[in-house]
Structure 1
Amino acid sequence: MDAVDDVVEPISVTTPRRVGRGVLAQWWRDLTFVHWAVEPAAVAGLLPAGTRPDVLGGATYVGLVPFRMDRVRPFGGPAVPYFGSFCETNVRLYSVDAAGRRGVVFRSLDAARLVPALAGRLGFSLPYRWSSMSLRRDGDLLTYRCRTRWHHTESTLAVRTGPPIGRPTTLEQFLTARWGLHVSWHGRTLYVPNDHPQWPLHRATLLHLSDELAPAAGVPVSGEPVSVLFSPGVPARFGAPRRVR
């Protein structure tokens, strides 16, 4: 059951809401999670109605997450060729609703394929953009590049992956084990659940970061990130949207 009366569900490496066949399945691969701590009041106005910043230790967080989307499969069907595999980068915030469901709110989503970007924008009102993107891997060195096609906003991120994390900290779980998203949709706020195995996480060293995506998304970040993580990835499923009341 969903939590009630503003009781927030526990932070967990496994989903509290299993998704069966789902409406969309995909793989997330070669992800880097870069996070900054911010004051909750600084981002509260950027969240959908019926949600508030999800807070840990008095702070909430802004995430910059580049990765590869792979093997996108709508409604349990076969993987979509060509359009189902592409680089993506998101800028995200952390949210919780009155039912206690923790989620993410995407402030921007850049995708290297036009059709998925249009489908996400038109079908789910997600802030997708068609952008020029690349991921280069040389051993344990990964370099992600993104450039929006119209406003020429750019982001370059280079990290060196480190050893696997045996037991993630509470903060590392909070930032990565998110079991749904909140989105504004035609005057309503929806919660879209997702389900995936526990993240295999690695430490990562930030070698270079030059990012204009977060400021362009209206998100206030400054200083060094408080967390940099890498994951080779997981398969994921999304369930049917639910209205946030």
Structure 2
Amino acid sequence: MLFRQRWRDLVFLHWPADPFEVARLLPPGTVPDLYQGRAYVGLVFFRMDDLAFGPTPPLPYLGSFGEVNVRLYSRDAVGRRGVVFRSLDCDRLLPVLTARGAFGLPYRWSRIRSAWFDGRLVYRTSRRGGERAGARVWLDVEDEPVTAGPLEEFLTQRWGLHERFLGRTYYLPTTHPAWTFRRCSLLGWEDDLVAAAGLSRPRGEPVSVLYAPGLPVRFGPPVALPPPGRRLG
């Protein structure tokens, strides 16, 4: 195990995306992972807690922060399905610098706020440094559990990420318990982050809206992908 963390109060919004547009944004050695011929882009809001490296105790203060990411879905030559992050907004500067320097992940230092109001959850983010990009979501969350459908399983049953760093594409594996979701109703949303990540601005309401209370996650060491065109085995 490389490091571990806990994700809390996750909100997933998803829209269909152009597969050709997605393909040009993925790292070499990966292709768009499609569901019934369609690609998807996700906008995900959550809180991260208890960040820890190996068996060490969780980091105080620096190990807890808000995050908002724009993600695409990928598949590599050996069939591993993953996530490709086009941007990851975070409200702690040191984790931003560490993730960029150690893994090449596109973290951005941002202001992120979240709050509960009588069963309603609100997230708001805006980037620092003068860049006019941000997002907001607010929704009603009920205690009733819901079962994920085939599309939701495709979007959330991901066990690693693909990224390009120092001239090589790698796969970073993850493990976590099964997701649990609760019934929710989207009250509103605003977004500039998807367009800022190089994709077309979402059209209309998201086709999938999910709320998950959270779960613990473990990350294994990265695995380098073979160079494109090289045969496996």
Matched, 1:101 2:85: no
Q: Which runs of 4+ in 1 moved over 2 A?
A: none
Q: AA paired with 2:98?
A: A
CA RMSD in angstroms comes to 0.9
- From 186, 191, 199, the counterpart of 1:211: 191
Looking at structure 2, the residues matched to 28 and 140 of structure 1 have their Cα atoms a distance apart, in angstroms, of 19
Looking at structure 2, the residues matched to 56 and 123 of structure 1 have their Cα atoms a distance apart, in angstroms, of 32
Matched, 1:224 2:180: no
- From 179, 182, 193, the counterpart of 1:202: 182
Matched, 1:242 2:223: yes
Deviation sequence 1:129-183 (CA, Å, 0-9, x none): 1111110112321100001001131211111123311x32111111111100000
8 Å contact from structure 1 (residues 203, 228) kept in 2:
no
Matched, 1:88 2:67: yes
- From 182, 194, 205, the counterpart of 2:162: 182
Looking at structure 2, the residues matched to 204 and 188 of structure 1 have their Cα atoms a distance apart, in angstroms, of 40
| Residue aligning to 2:231 | none
Superposition pairs of residues 59-74 of structure 1, within 5 angstroms = 59-74=38-53
| Residue aligning to 1:127 | 106
Query: What secondary structure, in the 3-state scheme, does the structure 2 residue paired with 1:46 have?
Result: coil
Looking at structure 2, the residues matched to 102 and 116 of structure 1 have their Cα atoms a distance apart, in angstroms, of 26
Looking at structure 1, the residues matched to 154 and 185 of structure 2 have their Cα atoms a distance apart, in angstroms, of 20
| Residue aligning to 2:230 | none
Unaligned residue ranges in structure 2 (runs of 5+):
227-233
Q: AA paired with 1:77?
A: T
Looking at structure 1, the residues matched to 13 and 141 of structure 2 have their Cα atoms a distance apart, in angstroms, of 13
- 1:206 deviates by 1.3
- From 159, 168, 190, the counterpart of 2:148: 168
| Residue aligning to 2:16 | 37
- From 115, 138, 156, the counterpart of 1:158: 138
Does 185-194 or 195-204 show the bigger shift? 195-204
Deviation sequence 1:214-234 (CA, Å, 0-9, x none): 110112222211000000000
- TM-score of the pair, normalised by structure 2: 0.93
Looking at structure 2, the residues matched to 141 and 131 of structure 1 have their Cα atoms a distance apart, in angstroms, of 23
Matched, 1:56 2:35: yes
Q: Percent identity?
A: 50
Q: AA paired with 2:212?
A: S
- 1:55 deviates by 0.4
Number of aligned residues: 223
Looking at structure 2, the residues matched to 132 and 168 of structure 1 have their Cα atoms a distance apart, in angstroms, of 31
